[in-house]
Structure formats: structure tokens, C-alpha cells
Amino acid sequence: MISESRSELDRFLGLEVYGTSTQGVGGIIRKRLEDFIVEEIPLHGGSSGNLLLLVVEKRGIDTLTAAVRLAEKLKIPLRHVGFAGLKDTRSISRQRFTVKAPEDINISALSDRNMKIVAAYRSKKHLRPGMLLGNSFSITIREMSLPLNEVKVILEETLLQMEELGGVPNFYGYQRFGINRPNTHIIGKLLIQGDYEKAVMELLASPYPNEPQSHREARAFLAGSMDFKKALKKFPKSLIFERLIIKWLIKKPGDYVGSLKALPKYVLTLYVDAYLSYIFNKALSERLRKVKSLKVVLEGDIIAKSDAYGNPLRPTFIAKGDFKEVKSDELILAFVPASSITRVKGYMNELILSLFKKDGLEPPFKNLEEIGLQGRLGLIRQITFKPLNLTYRVIEDEKALNLSFVLPKSSYATMFLREVMKPEDPIASGF
């Protein structure tokens, strides 16, 4: 059932294979914002506390932009805005933010044309990444070239192959690396290598073809001139983090480490994690080629029980033998180290270390200490997920296909859609 991807972008991001061999239904997602709707499924919490928990409906903006806007409106540091997960920019999404705000705050004043406060509660704890159960989706695929009866046949066969495989390969999706600038893993690798100047210049001055023209022009100017003062005038205000770095370098020329530390810590973590995510994708691709199943347990695999949404629970245990199938209420996880080392023997550990070695790297990554990320142990991630409550309907008069489903946290709807659609050009297909 495993098939190779023909997409250049896929291979650049480590998404080298599909878990299914069907033709794919093709088509485009996100023709309209309403075609991609996502809503967080929150953890159960209380109704008291000194923090404000906001349920925000975002239209066409990313989570970090929404967090920055809330910080500006409330006149609080960005670090005092908490959220549980990153949501797609090109979507209508409902997610939760926690902020420090007085009880008499005018909630309606926090809304604008891209984000609407739909509810507010009190909370005792700031939200942190991962503090949710999952996400529910309603996604519409349009402009499929196949007849709708063929679309239904292909979809059913794809779902059947996924079931036989053991679920959807839990790759990190395109959003993890940047849609218009798929280079977060490149920046992360440079940070791990300790090449801070090159990391900064990749972040600031490497134009990518799918960026807005104003962004490309500003980056190209800086790359050619290295004039940070003049570049600041050219960089659009929407490039918040780039402008933070440039302002620092205007004040302290050549202080690339300081300029990176001027960024919120979670932004640096996103870059480092993107590189670890790329290594995970490469390793999962190779595992699929070798084993051709996501059910088969290999020696050294991390095994965990799953909750009702498909999230791993603690405690975990290490598999001692090969070639048995995981139980229906269990998950297989893989660990990608950063500021730690692992002594676990087994296929995935050895494969991941060999991928690092090809890049001239070996954990623990001591250079992360210089930019304040010494506590980043690494990533642990399940190798598969299963869409829950999946329903679909063909919209005859619009020649479209709508899919509704629930996913566990830390999984990407686009990786499920990738198996269904098999896009040769993911960006042109709306991914």
C-alpha cells in the first residue's frame, strides 16, 4: 500500500511516502475560508481564577498574530498570552487564549475584523501548547476533475487502506514548516549547529517564491545591502519577528545571538522543533518503506495506552521484541532527542541518530544553551492517528466533497487530506 510522493515540496520536508496507494481524488481545499473550519476540544477546567480565558474565532490569521494583537490591545507582554495549539491561517478557527486582564475589561473591545471574542471565562492556569484534547474539523474539497461517483469509490478505498495500515501516518504537516516560506526546519538546523548569523539571515533575507511581493523585495534588499536601518523601513509591520531582530541588530550590530534571544522563547523553540519534526518525517517515511504497516511493533518502540481521542497516556513502556501488532487501545511513539541522549536500542532510535549523523549532528545539542533552550529534551510523537466520528457527503450541485472528523491533538488534518487527495503541488492545491 505504501507509495512514493512525486511532490518536490513533500520530499523537501521529509514527507517522502504515502501510507496508501490510491489515485487520490485531487481538487483544492481553502477556496473559501468557510471550506476549512476547525475548533479546539478543550480540557475540562474550572470557572474561577485571576486569568481571563478567551474563546476567539479567527478568520484568516494565524495563532501568533492573534496572540500579538491581544497583547497589544491589553498592553501586556506577549509572554502573558497563552494558547494550547497553533491553528491554520487560511481557515475559520475557534481556539482559546489565556491573558492577564482586569475583571472590568471591555471584552468587546478586543474583537476586530479578523478575530471575534465569542466567550470569556476565568481561569487559574495559563494555557500552554498541548493543553487540549483534540480538534474538530469540517473541510470541503472543490474543483475535483473526477466524476463524483469515482471520488466516492477512491475515498472509500483510501479509508479502507488506512484502516489496514493502522491509521494515518502522523507526519508533521506543511504548516509546521511554513506554507509560503517552508524553511523553519532550515533555521532550526542552523541554530542547532550554532551558526547563528546564518540562521538570522535565513530568517530575514531568504526570499521564497510564494511570499507576498513586498516581503520578497524587503528580504532581497537586506540580502544585497546588509543595511539594517534602511531594511527596517522596507519590512512590512506584519513581519513582527523579523522586525524585532532587525531593531536589535541596528542597536547592536553583529550581535546575532542577542537578536535571536530578543524573540519570544517559544518562537525559537518552534524553529528547533521544526528541524526535529523534519527528522521525524524522514524516519517515519523510511519505517513505512521497511515495515509497510503502522501496527507492527519493533524492538525499542515506545508503547502507550491511548485516551478516547487517540492521545497517548502515561506511563509508557519500551518494546523488547519485534513483529507483534500493537493492541487496539495502544499507540507506538518515537522519540527525537535534542538536549538529551537516549540509550534505548532499536530500529527507530538507530534510524533517527543516523539521520542526524548525515547532517553532521549528534545529540545532545549543546549550542541550544547559548540561546536559552537548554531545557528542550526533544520530541516524542505517536507514529499514527485515526480520524474519529468521520462522515462525508458529496455536494452534487457544487461538485464538492465535505469531510467532518475529529483528530487528537498534535496531528494534522492536512496529513489526512494528503492521503485522500494525493496533491502533486500541495501549495496549488490549497495546503
Alpha carbons 290 and 16: distance in angstroms, whole number: 13
Exposed/middle/buried for residue 113 (C-beta within 10 Å: 0-12, 13-18, 19+): exposed
| Cα–Cα distance for residue pair 292/224, rounded to 1 Å | 48
376-to-63, 371, 404 alpha-carbon distances in Å: 22, 11, 35
Q: Are 219 and 200 in contact (CB under 8 A)?
A: no
Tell me the residue ranges of DSSP E strands in 49-99. 51-59, 81-83, 92-99
DSSP state letters, 311-322: -EEEEEEE--SS
CB 100 within 8 A of CB 53: no
CB burial readout 351-387, b (16+ within 10 A) else e: bbbebbeeeebebbbebbeebebeebbbbbbbbbbbb
Are the C-beta atoms of residues 168 and 162 closer than 8 Å to each other?
A: yes
Which of 88, 307, 397, 425 is flagged as catalytic?
A: 88
- Rg (C-alpha) for the chain, rounded Å, is 22
Q: Mark whether 273 is an active-site residue.
A: no
**Sequence-distant (≥ 6) Cβ neighbours of residue 298 within 8 angstroms:** 291, 319, 322, 323, 346, 347, 348
State the burial class of residue 424 (Cβ atoms within 10 Å of its Cβ: 0-12, 13-18, 19+). middle
Q: Which residues pair with 403 in a beta bridge?
A: 139, 392
Instruction: Confirm if 186 and 178 have CB atoms less than 8 A apart.
Output: no
C-alpha–C-alpha distance, residues 53 and 356, integer Å: 40
Alpha helices in 253-306 (DSSP H): 256-261, 265-291
Check residue 259 and report its DSSP letter. Answer: H
Which residues 6+ apart lie within 8 Å of 372 measured at CB? 261, 265, 268
Q: How many CB atoms lie within 10 A of CB 396?
A: 8
Residue numbers annotated as active site: 88
